Amino acid sequence: MSETAHVREVGPRDGIQMVKTMLTTERKLAWCRGAAAAGIGEIEVTSFVPPKVIAQFADAEEVARGALTIGGFRPSVLVPNLKGAERAFALGLPQVNYVLSASEAHNLANVRRGTEESLVDFGRIAALRDQRSGPRIALASGIATAFGCTISGAVDEGRVVEIARRLVDMGADEIIVADTVGYGDPGQVRRLLKAVIAAVGRVRVSCHFHDTRGLGLANVTAALETGVRTFDASLAGLGGCPFAPGATGNIDTEDTVFLLEQLGFDTGVDLDRLIALRREVESWLPGERFSGAIARAGLPKTYRHARAA
């Protein structure tokens, strides 16, 4: 029996927040349906930012509602504040992903308030979650710019650990350590993830890497060594943060699955089906830059799905 590792598809959220084409709700749901059919177990399906901030997510409610009817995967949504969380809670989603930035400057640019204010807001969201009746909603929080910031430069590792601890103390069920701008390297990943896991041990710690400077998959490899088993990724390597110049490119979902399977982890994903879905998504987004090596070079002759090994 292989150990399991999880790839969370964030393409319908992070992947499309900067693309030129407005995807229809139906295509966003087809993306979710296709990824689930290929074996992806978690998908961040949309973002509950105000529609006037990112028009691509004006149909967030419809996408979330539609995603809930597909089945076979755990849908989550991104929320930047209490208002977004209220909208997400109302729909009965099983998981809601909050985000704040370790870098004060990035937090100000991204959500127009300081990191401490964002932490206080998370406390309100967690309290609201706890007051609700019905099935418990899992609350994750991303810590953006955890490895450095394009605006302010270096980010203190102790500050990231402190933020993680406070989020968990307030009720976070998962900490998503995010290299929003692609500054992290494998040494930094090993150090920071070890420290975060030691500080918040009992909750899931996952990673959200961008491949901006080519180290995305090296960073996944390093994070695996610290015990991380869940990684955000985007089909065709789409993605980027509107307030982090040069941040383009989440790690590519297909390549991440390939790496994990090669290392003997069972991702549950059928790479051929995933690559077919990628081709479809590419056809919907004319003029975008797609990345990822497996879709170009093909699987090695020696490739075997870990589950089959």
Query: Which position among 127, 156, 264, 279 is part of the footprint of a copy of itself (CB under 8 A)?
Result: 264
Q: 250 and 236 in contact (C-beta within 8 Å)?
A: no
How many other C-beta atoms are found inside a 10 Å radius of the C-beta of residue 15? 27
Residue 252 binds a copy of itself (CB under 8 A)? yes
Minimum gap (Å) between residue 225 Cβ and a copy of itself: 9
Kindly state the number of chain residues that form the binding site for a copy of itself, as judged by CB under 8 A: 39
Q: 39 and 269 in contact (C-beta within 8 Å)?
A: yes
Which range of residues in 16-24, 36-44, 94-102, 261-269 is near a copy of itself by CB under 8 A?
261-269
15 vs 80, beta carbon nearer a copy of itself: 15
Residue 294 binds a copy of itself (CB under 8 A)? yes
Strand partners of residue 204:
174
Cα–Cα distance, 256 to 294 (Å, whole number):
10
Cα–Cα distance, 82 to 97 (Å, whole number):
12
125 vs 144, beta carbon nearer a copy of itself: 144
Window 173-202: residues binding a copy of itself (CB under 8 A) = 181-183, 185-188
Cα–Cα distance, 216 to 237 (Å, whole number):
11
Query: Which position among 170, 246, 284, 290 is part of the footprint of a copy of itself (CB under 8 A)?
Result: 246
Among all residues, which ones are annotated catalytic? Answer: 241
Torsion sign across C-alpha atoms 284, 288, 290, 295: positive
| H/E element, 137 | none
Window 215-244: residues binding a copy of itself (CB under 8 A) = 215, 217-218, 220-222
Window 94-153: residues binding a copy of itself (CB under 8 A) = 148-150, 153
Token pair 């879709």 is found at: 295
Residue 111 burial (10 A CB sphere; 0-12, 13-18, 19+)? buried
How many other C-beta atoms are found inside a 10 Å radius of the C-beta of residue 153? 10
Query: Which position among 40, 236, 292, 306 is part of the footprint of a copy of itself (CB under 8 A)?
Result: 292
125 vs 149, beta carbon nearer a copy of itself: 149
Token pair 């990112």 is found at: 54
83 vs 159, beta carbon nearer a copy of itself: 159
Residue 42 binds a copy of itself (CB under 8 A)? no
Query: Which position among 204, 262, 288, 305 is part of the footprint of a copy of itself (CB under 8 A)?
Result: 262
Rg (CA), the chain: 18
How does strand 174-179 pair with strand 230-233?
A: unpaired
Cα–Cα distance, 20 to 285 (Å, whole number):
8
Q: Distance of CA 15 to CAs 3, 98, 167, 180, Å? A: 28, 17, 26, 13
97 vs 230, beta carbon nearer a copy of itself: 230
Cα–Cα distance, 168 to 15 (Å, whole number):
27
182 vs 268, beta carbon nearer a copy of itself: 182
Window 64-83: residues binding a copy of itself (CB under 8 A) = none
Window 151-170: residues binding a copy of itself (CB under 8 A) = 153-154
Minimum gap (Å) between residue 88 Cβ and a copy of itself: 33
Query: Which position among 258, 274, 281, 306 is part of the footprint of a copy of itself (CB under 8 A)?
Result: 258
60 vs 271, beta carbon nearer a copy of itself: 271
Q: Which residues would be at the binding site for a copy of itself (CB under 8 A)?
A: 148-150, 153-154, 181-183, 185-188, 211-215, 217-218, 220-222, 246, 248, 252, 255, 258-259, 262-264, 292-294, 297-298, 300-302
